Amino acid sequence: MYGSFYCTRCGERLKSKQPNCGSCGQPTAPELKYDTADGRGAGGLGWARNTDDVRFAGYENSYTSVSLIWMIAIPLLINGFMFYNGTFEMNKTGFTYAAVLSAILIIPGIIFLLKRRVKVEEWEGEIVDKKAVERVRTERDEEGENIQVTYIDYELLVRNVNGSMRTHSLGSSEMLFSYYRVGDYIKCHGKPNLKGLEKYDKRFDAFTFCMKCGNSNDFRNNFCDACGSPILKGENIKS
Ligand SMILES: [Zn+2]
Ligand SMILES: [Zn+2]
């Protein structure tokens, strides 16, 4: 839990210690927020329709702007310093050095930003099995010695709609492992800001995970309290 930074009803950014959302008025305290006992049933049935919501990219866009500002500011500062202290002279050679240095500083940043935008594959299928696999990795201890550390990797075995099989790793998250059940129909949206797997039938869970940041959210939330992204829900069918 990162704490409550966004209104879970309307998605507005909250100021600290605000008792109510400034936009829609919803109380921010969890015990006052909801009118039902728990979130079970609020997730609904079917694929969510708001996966293209611009709020999924909100943080991404500001992240890109901040990175771009730094990518311009840092070469300017370093080159300015180099000219100021005389390392680079104010002539053709000096300017060539400055240009090369700027390129060296900027190119890795551009590659990094582009990599973050790479699309992941879109797929959907049914969970046919899940297992906890014990794996071993090599780590260094305090004395710098290599040691073998065992860890658990939770995996889902999925039969894709096209019939092929896929193993999907959930990492070491026990919460995710219990959230996805055998027989669940799941979908990976193949969008850079939707990293999680959506469940088709969400009626039997009281909580879900934000597709953007992975934070656990009550299914009565419309927006993630940690990052403000919409919570994916299906049609609400009340029986
Ligand atoms: Zn609100
Ligand atoms: Zn989130």
Contact 87, 79 (CB under 8 A): no
149 Cα: distance to centroid of ligand 2 (angstroms) = 31
Say which ligand is closest to the CA of 59: 2
Q: Which residues surround ligand 2, an ion (CB under 5 A)?
A: 210, 212-213, 215, 224, 226-227, 229
- The tens digit of pLDDT for each residue in 43-100 reads 999 999 999 888 888 666 677 778 888 888 999 999 999 999 999 998 999 999 999 9
Contact 154, 132 (CB under 8 A): yes
Question: What residues contact 70, with CB distance under 8 A and at least 6 apart?
Answer: 109
Show me where the domains of the chain are located.
58-116
- The tens digit of pLDDT for each residue in 161-201 reads 999 999 999 999 999 999 999 999 999 998 878 889 999 99
218 Cα: distance to centroid of ligand 1 (angstroms) = 15
pTM of the model: 0.73
